[in-house]
Chains A and B, each alone.
Chain A
Amino acid sequence: GAGVSQTPSNKVTEKGKYVELRCDPISGHTALYWYRQSLGQGPEFLIYFQGTGAADDSGLPNDRFFAVRPEGSVSTLKIQRTERGDSAVYLCASSPYDGSYEQYFGPGTRLTVT
Protein backbone atom coordinates (compact mmCIF):
# COMPACT_ATOMS: atom_id res chain seq x y z
CA GLY A 1 0.00 0.00 0.00
CA ALA A 2 0.94 3.64 -0.11
CA GLY A 3 3.48 4.89 2.38
CA VAL A 4 3.72 8.23 4.14
CA SER A 5 3.77 11.09 1.68
CA GLN A 6 4.99 14.63 2.24
CA THR A 7 4.51 17.73 0.14
CA PRO A 8 6.24 19.68 -1.14
CA SER A 9 9.45 17.68 -1.49
CA ASN A 10 11.44 20.91 -1.62
CA LYS A 11 10.56 24.40 -0.43
CA VAL A 12 12.68 27.51 -0.81
CA THR A 13 11.45 30.60 0.99
CA GLU A 14 12.75 33.97 2.04
CA LYS A 15 13.54 34.86 5.61
CA GLY A 16 10.46 36.14 7.37
CA LYS A 17 7.93 34.28 5.21
CA TYR A 18 5.31 31.76 6.35
CA VAL A 19 5.41 28.13 5.20
CA GLU A 20 3.17 25.09 5.51
CA LEU A 21 4.42 21.53 5.17
CA ARG A 22 1.95 18.70 4.65
CA CYS A 23 2.04 15.07 5.73
CA ASP A 24 -0.30 12.29 4.56
CA PRO A 25 0.15 9.30 6.88
CA ILE A 26 -0.47 5.67 6.05
CA SER A 27 -4.22 5.06 5.97
CA GLY A 28 -5.52 3.89 9.34
CA HIS A 29 -2.46 4.95 11.33
CA THR A 30 -3.56 6.79 14.45
CA ALA A 31 -0.23 8.20 15.64
CA LEU A 32 1.73 10.86 13.75
CA TYR A 33 5.11 12.46 14.42
CA TRP A 34 7.06 15.41 13.07
CA TYR A 35 10.85 15.52 13.20
CA ARG A 36 13.49 17.93 11.95
CA GLN A 37 16.79 16.64 10.58
CA SER A 38 19.78 18.88 10.02
CA LEU A 39 22.76 17.85 7.92
CA GLY A 40 24.84 15.20 9.64
CA GLN A 41 22.37 14.80 12.50
CA GLY A 42 19.66 12.35 13.42
CA PRO A 43 15.99 13.30 13.38
CA GLU A 44 15.03 15.66 16.20
CA PHE A 45 11.57 15.12 17.73
CA LEU A 46 9.16 18.04 17.31
CA ILE A 47 5.60 16.89 18.05
CA TYR A 48 3.48 13.75 18.43
CA PHE A 49 -0.24 13.42 17.67
CA GLN A 50 -2.61 10.81 19.03
CA GLY A 51 -5.59 11.13 16.73
CA THR A 52 -6.44 14.82 16.41
CA GLY A 53 -4.70 16.02 19.57
CA ALA A 54 -1.07 16.89 20.16
CA ALA A 55 -0.05 14.49 22.94
CA ASP A 56 3.49 15.86 23.20
CA ASP A 57 4.70 19.10 21.61
CA SER A 58 7.75 19.49 23.80
CA GLY A 59 10.11 19.42 20.82
CA LEU A 60 8.73 22.48 19.06
CA PRO A 61 11.60 24.98 19.30
CA ASN A 62 9.49 28.13 19.82
CA ASP A 63 6.07 29.63 19.19
CA ARG A 64 6.81 30.22 15.49
CA PHE A 65 6.21 26.49 15.00
CA PHE A 66 2.72 25.03 15.10
CA ALA A 67 1.18 21.79 13.85
CA VAL A 68 -2.39 20.62 13.36
CA ARG A 69 -4.16 17.39 12.53
CA PRO A 70 -7.83 18.43 12.44
CA GLU A 71 -9.40 15.17 11.26
CA GLY A 72 -6.91 12.70 12.68
CA SER A 73 -5.30 11.97 9.33
CA VAL A 74 -3.44 14.63 7.34
CA SER A 75 -1.19 16.93 9.35
CA THR A 76 0.27 20.34 8.56
CA LEU A 77 3.38 21.83 10.15
CA LYS A 78 3.28 25.61 10.06
CA ILE A 79 6.30 27.86 10.49
CA GLN A 80 5.85 31.61 10.87
CA ARG A 81 8.50 34.29 10.29
CA THR A 82 10.99 31.75 8.99
CA GLU A 83 14.66 32.13 9.90
CA ARG A 84 17.74 30.78 8.15
CA GLY A 85 18.27 28.43 11.07
CA ASP A 86 14.97 26.72 10.21
CA SER A 87 16.59 25.26 7.08
CA ALA A 88 16.49 21.47 7.44
CA VAL A 89 14.65 18.37 6.26
CA TYR A 90 11.30 18.04 7.99
CA LEU A 91 10.27 14.41 8.37
CA CYS A 92 6.86 13.00 9.14
CA ALA A 93 6.23 9.49 10.47
CA SER A 94 3.10 7.54 11.31
CA SER A 95 2.46 4.54 13.55
CA PRO A 96 -0.37 2.00 13.41
CA TYR A 97 -1.46 2.69 16.99
CA ASP A 98 -0.60 4.93 19.92
CA GLY A 99 2.52 3.82 21.75
CA SER A 100 3.77 1.62 18.91
CA TYR A 101 7.53 1.58 18.41
CA GLU A 102 7.02 1.16 14.67
CA GLN A 103 7.33 4.47 12.89
CA TYR A 104 7.05 4.67 9.13
CA PHE A 105 8.76 7.73 7.73
CA GLY A 106 7.99 9.81 4.71
CA PRO A 107 10.72 11.10 2.38
CA GLY A 108 10.75 14.51 4.03
CA THR A 109 10.41 18.12 2.92
CA ARG A 110 13.70 19.92 2.38
CA LEU A 111 13.18 23.52 3.58
CA THR A 112 15.68 26.18 2.61
CA VAL A 113 15.32 29.68 4.04
CA THR A 114 17.34 32.27 2.13
Chain B
Amino acid sequence: QKEVEQDPGPLSVPEGAIVSLNCTYSNSAFQYFMWYRQYSRKGPELLMYTYSSGNKEDGRFTAQVDKSSKYISLFIRDSQPSDSATYLCAMSAEGFKTIFGAGTRLFVKA
Protein backbone atom coordinates (compact mmCIF):
# COMPACT_ATOMS: atom_id res chain seq x y z
CA GLN B 1 0.00 0.00 0.00
CA LYS B 2 1.29 3.44 -0.92
CA GLU B 3 1.73 6.04 1.82
CA VAL B 4 -0.45 8.47 -0.14
CA GLU B 5 -3.36 7.38 -2.34
CA GLN B 6 -4.93 9.65 -4.94
CA ASP B 7 -7.46 8.82 -7.64
CA PRO B 8 -5.72 9.48 -10.99
CA GLY B 9 -8.93 10.43 -12.79
CA PRO B 10 -9.34 11.86 -15.30
CA LEU B 11 -12.03 14.10 -13.90
CA SER B 12 -14.02 16.08 -16.45
CA VAL B 13 -16.38 18.89 -15.37
CA PRO B 14 -18.18 21.78 -17.07
CA GLU B 15 -17.00 25.33 -16.56
CA GLY B 16 -18.37 26.83 -13.36
CA ALA B 17 -18.66 23.50 -11.53
CA ILE B 18 -17.34 22.85 -8.04
CA VAL B 19 -14.48 20.37 -8.14
CA SER B 20 -13.55 18.08 -5.27
CA LEU B 21 -10.14 16.40 -5.21
CA ASN B 22 -9.12 14.00 -2.48
CA CYS B 23 -6.26 12.02 -1.02
CA THR B 24 -5.93 9.47 1.74
CA TYR B 25 -2.76 8.60 3.61
CA SER B 26 -1.49 6.04 6.05
CA ASN B 27 1.34 7.77 7.95
CA SER B 28 -0.05 9.44 11.07
CA ALA B 29 3.20 11.44 11.43
CA PHE B 30 2.31 13.68 8.48
CA GLN B 31 1.69 17.22 9.69
CA TYR B 32 2.19 19.36 6.59
CA PHE B 33 -0.30 19.00 3.74
CA MET B 34 0.11 20.66 0.38
CA TRP B 35 -1.65 20.80 -2.97
CA TYR B 36 0.33 21.40 -6.12
CA ARG B 37 -0.88 22.08 -9.66
CA GLN B 38 1.13 20.78 -12.59
CA TYR B 39 0.57 21.75 -16.19
CA SER B 40 1.82 19.49 -18.95
CA ARG B 41 5.62 19.48 -19.27
CA LYS B 42 6.01 21.94 -16.38
CA GLY B 43 7.16 21.57 -12.79
CA PRO B 44 4.59 21.46 -9.96
CA GLU B 45 3.42 24.79 -8.54
CA LEU B 46 2.37 25.13 -4.88
CA LEU B 47 -1.31 26.05 -4.57
CA MET B 48 -2.28 25.54 -0.95
CA TYR B 49 -0.64 24.59 2.32
CA THR B 50 -2.21 23.47 5.60
CA TYR B 51 -0.54 22.58 8.84
CA SER B 52 -2.27 19.84 10.88
CA SER B 53 -6.07 19.65 10.74
CA GLY B 54 -8.50 22.30 9.61
CA ASN B 55 -9.60 24.34 6.63
CA LYS B 56 -7.85 27.01 4.62
CA GLU B 57 -9.35 29.19 1.93
CA ASP B 58 -7.59 31.17 -0.79
CA GLY B 59 -9.80 32.73 -3.43
CA ARG B 60 -11.59 29.94 -5.31
CA PHE B 61 -9.58 27.24 -3.54
CA THR B 62 -10.31 25.58 -0.19
CA ALA B 63 -8.11 22.93 1.40
CA GLN B 64 -9.39 20.65 4.16
CA VAL B 65 -7.47 18.25 6.36
CA ASP B 66 -9.06 15.60 8.58
CA LYS B 67 -6.22 13.91 10.44
CA SER B 68 -8.55 11.60 12.34
CA SER B 69 -9.66 10.07 9.04
CA LYS B 70 -6.28 10.57 7.30
CA TYR B 71 -8.10 12.34 4.49
CA ILE B 72 -7.44 15.63 2.73
CA SER B 73 -9.43 17.52 0.12
CA LEU B 74 -9.09 20.42 -2.27
CA PHE B 75 -12.20 22.21 -3.50
CA ILE B 76 -12.19 24.49 -6.53
CA ARG B 77 -15.19 26.78 -6.90
CA ASP B 78 -16.33 28.29 -10.21
CA SER B 79 -13.88 26.12 -12.12
CA GLN B 80 -12.34 27.59 -15.27
CA PRO B 81 -10.80 25.96 -18.36
CA SER B 82 -7.46 27.36 -17.16
CA ASP B 83 -7.79 25.11 -14.09
CA SER B 84 -7.31 22.09 -16.37
CA ALA B 85 -4.14 20.46 -15.06
CA THR B 86 -2.92 17.64 -12.84
CA TYR B 87 -3.43 18.24 -9.13
CA LEU B 88 -0.98 16.61 -6.75
CA CYS B 89 -1.46 16.21 -3.04
CA ALA B 90 1.74 16.16 -0.99
CA MET B 91 2.55 15.52 2.65
CA SER B 92 5.45 15.79 5.01
CA ALA B 93 6.17 14.89 8.60
CA GLU B 94 9.05 17.26 9.27
CA GLY B 95 8.63 19.88 6.58
CA PHE B 96 11.24 18.59 4.16
CA LYS B 97 11.01 15.02 2.86
CA THR B 98 7.75 15.23 0.94
CA ILE B 99 5.62 12.35 -0.31
CA PHE B 100 3.40 13.05 -3.32
CA GLY B 101 0.23 11.38 -4.52
CA ALA B 102 0.05 10.16 -8.11
CA GLY B 103 -1.99 13.21 -9.17
CA THR B 104 -5.53 13.67 -10.49
CA ARG B 105 -5.96 14.93 -14.04
CA LEU B 106 -8.70 17.57 -14.24
CA PHE B 107 -10.37 18.78 -17.41
CA VAL B 108 -12.70 21.79 -17.24
CA LYS B 109 -14.79 22.10 -20.38
CA ALA B 110 -15.84 25.53 -21.65
Interface residue A1 (Cβ < 8 Å from any Cβ of B)? no
B102: Cβ under 8 A from any A Cβ: yes
- Shortest Cβ distance from A64 into chain B, in angstroms? 21
Decide if A21 is an interface residue (CB 8 Å cutoff): no
Is A85 positioned at the interface, with any CB of B under 8 Å from its CB? Answer: no
A42 touches B6 (CB 8 A): yes
- Interface size of A by CB at 8 A reads 29
Contact A99 B43 (CB under 8 A): no
Q: Is the CB of A4 within 8 A of B43?
A: yes
Q: How big is chain B's contact interface, by range?
A: 20 to 34
Q: Is the CB of A107 within 8 A of B43?
A: yes
Q: Decide: A42 and B92 in contact? CB cutoff 8 A.
A: no
| Bound CA–CA A107/B43 (angstroms) | 4
Cα distance A27–B70 when bound, in Å? 36
Contact B100 A101 (CB under 8 A): no
List 7 interface pairs A-B (beta carbons < 8 Å), by A numbering.
Answer: A35-B100, A42-B101, A43-B44, A56-B97, A59-B97, A101-B34, A105-B43
